[in-house]
Structure 1
Amino acid sequence: MDSKAIAIFTVSSLLAASSVQAEGQLIVGGYGGSAEKIIREKILPKFEAANNIKVTYVAGNSTDILAKLQAQKENQEFDVALMDDGPMARAVSLGFCAPITGVDFSQLYHSAAFPEGKASGLGLLATGLMYNTEVFKENGWAPPTSWNDLKDPKFAGKVVIPPMNNGYGLLTVVMLARMNGGGEKDIEPGFKAIKHGVDQNVLAYEPSPAKMTELFQTGQAVLGVWGTSRVQALASTGFPVDFVYPAEGAPAVMTAICPVAKETVSPAAQAFVKMMLSDEVQAILANEGGFAPVRKDVKVEAPGMMPYGERANQLVTVDWETINEHRDDWNKRWTREVER
């Protein structure tokens, strides 16, 4: 039996042993793309069978999930939410998450815990540059090494970056601001760098993982900004793409999970969170999806592009408190000045 089969088998055993005898439905709002595929194929069927429950998985990006929590705050549809750390911090501060029960946080890295245990990190990613290795080789171009490579005139019309309401786009602007004398508390240099340096090369500010992949596969884009798990998933298809940790630093993105606060939090929601933080599922998310584990006892034999080991120690952390305070205004400004 290979390692992936063993991991899946142990998940089944774990879930059967901790079965929540409940009937009904659990609604999970979470990531699309490769993460959704892994959760649907490797995790949900076992959880449903062990807990006698139907899981409805609603895919969307983190800002979509947060927006739905805000819109439905009087009558929440979701039982569990999966989001990036920035939106999750906002969700916790707004009271949308309930305390997690049944999880031993001492088994997780300290950085995984959110205030009052109302959410937990799920996996660690890095934000950086991806490029088409074949096109670069054909043109005799050296691999990119810096965020400033996004401004290089030879990439005119061939760069793809997510918009600012997407975590990867936001972190791009933050890094450009830091590199030009600003930062989270002074984002102006970041906007200036985008508008007067990067924008001239941008083919599209693309939020959709599927469309981002398509733009690379069709050769329209050769350089972009994305996360390690997304690039790893594209590379695993055989497409000639690689990930670069820029010299100025690669911002950390931590995927996170929480049981949604309701008058009565479903025991199945707590069981789902506990399962996602188990060593067995953490191993699946690492080996199948490129999410560096937040559990201390999970070892990754082939980390690939993920920020594991020394790479994790070198990641740039950002001030989410300041970012969340200004993010709505920044998004409006982005729409008005960049994607007008």
Structure 2
Amino acid sequence: MNKRQLLLATILTTATSGAASAQEVLTVGGYGGSFETLMKELIIPQFEEANDVTITFVPGNSTENLARLQAQQSAQELDVVILDDGPMYQADALGFCAPIEDAPVYADIYDIARLSDNAVGVGFVATGFAYNAEWFEREGWEPPKSWEDLADPKYEQILSVPPISNTYGLHTLVMMARLNGGGEDNIDPGFEAMANDVSPNVLVFEPSSGRMSELFQSEEIALSIWGSGRTKSLADTGFPAKFAYPQEGAVALMLAACPVVDSDVPEKAQAFMQYLLDPEIQVRIGDAMGAGPVNTTSELPPELAEVLPYGDKIDDLLAVDWDVINPARQEWTARWAREVER
């Protein structure tokens, strides 16, 4: 064999070997920040090794990843997407979610986490009260108990509520409507209560979780409507943050996942969905993200079980009607700007 033939044989062997060893790529869209870190450090490596696949993680908040699905509907980049439950209902209604294949793990999932035949919750977050426990103790205040406490004059200018563009703010509007004779189908009482009773107490309608943490740490606010997971993250820094469940019920905000339509690795996408619901993985998500497990067989350690939606707390979580909310959300957002944040 001459040098040219030898070189050609080497090139062909290398190309053939590379093609044979090339792994499939699974593209997952999900939250950035600490969630992305969790996925890359504690979740993804084990799945890649067990399933002979490479995962590409695309970070973005729920609005961004929903927009990505819409922009790429003719050729989807994502194979699995993780969104808040509200945007997930939209993604499913728009036809971006593929049917979930049956598997034993789904028999262990709470009914409230079964969003549809195409999407499932992968973690519970409760919307309720985050408060500075030292401030409350200093003032001799009891922890907040009712959604109606948001109108208590003692919280004037030391309260923060996220805007309606944030799920926590939306939950607040719905609960104020329900407590005043309305609900998703009759939102007027909610707007009236927010504008007349709650808004005077609000220092700022803060959408950013980072800025909300700063407001607590600088003692500009003592109380906010926030998630159990966000409150846990703030408490993990050493700040005296505590979470309180309203007596009328905390609202469930679910981290949800679905396999995306037209995936070129559909089997891997289905396997990853099941993996996210594995009891051990559910505990990891709970520890890192402050999201209670949706798998009924997951067992949290006592320090997590005390603060996260778990066990008996799941029965008390309230769900909102996204089928009513999503079509009206744009109109409500404009109205919120006019009447609440005026």
Q: Which moved more, 1:210-219 or 1:47-56?
A: 47-56
| Larger Rg over CA atoms | 2
CA deviations on 1:302-330 (whole Å, 9 max, x unpaired) are 20211211111111222221112322221
Q: Secondary structure at the match of 1:162?
A: coil
Q: Which moved more, 1:104-113 or 1:178-187?
A: 104-113
Which residue does 1:179 correspond to in 2? Answer: 179
2:243 is equivalent to residue 246 of structure 1? no
CA contact (8 A) 2:26 2:53 kept: no
2:201 is equivalent to residue 201 of structure 1? yes
2:114 is equivalent to residue 113 of structure 1? yes
Distance apart, 1:229 and its partner CA: 1.2
Distance apart, 1:150 and its partner CA: 1.7
Which residue does 2:218 correspond to in 1? Answer: 218
Structure 1 distance, partners of 2:156, 2:174, is 22
Residue 334 of structure 2, aligned match among 332, 335, 338: 332
CA deviations on 1:14-50 (whole Å, 9 max, x unpaired) are xxxxxxx863644322224543332232112333454
Structure 2 distance, partners of 1:89, 1:22, is 35
CA contact (8 A) 2:81 2:260 kept: yes
Distance apart, 1:92 and its partner CA: 0.9
Matches within 5 A, 1:283-294: 283-294=283-294
Which residue does 1:308 correspond to in 2? Answer: 310
TM-score (norm 1): 0.86
Structure 2 distance, partners of 1:102, 1:55, is 25
Identity of aligned residues (%): 47
CA contact (8 A) 1:121 1:257 kept: yes
Q: Secondary structure at the match of 1:44?
A: helix
> What runs of 5+ residues in structure 2 fail to find an aligned partner?
1-20
Structure 2 distance, partners of 1:331, 1:242, is 29
Q: Secondary structure at the match of 1:53?
A: strand
Q: Which amino acid aligns with 2:208?
A: S
CA deviations on 1:152-177 (whole Å, 9 max, x unpaired) are 22222221222112211111000000
Q: Which amino acid aligns with 1:310?
A: D
CA contact (8 A) 1:168 1:225 kept: yes
Relative to structure 1, the CA distance from residue 113 to residue 248 in structure 2 (aligned partners, 3 Å threshold; closer, same or farther) is closer
Structure 1 distance, partners of 2:108, 2:142, is 42
Structure 1 distance, partners of 2:72, 2:339, is 30
Distance apart, 1:190 and its partner CA: 0.8
CA contact (8 A) 1:125 1:227 kept: yes
Relative to structure 1, the CA distance from residue 254 to residue 182 in structure 2 (aligned partners, 3 Å threshold; closer, same or farther) is same
> What runs of 5+ residues in structure 1 fail to find an aligned partner?
1-20
Which residue does 2:228 correspond to in 1? Answer: 228
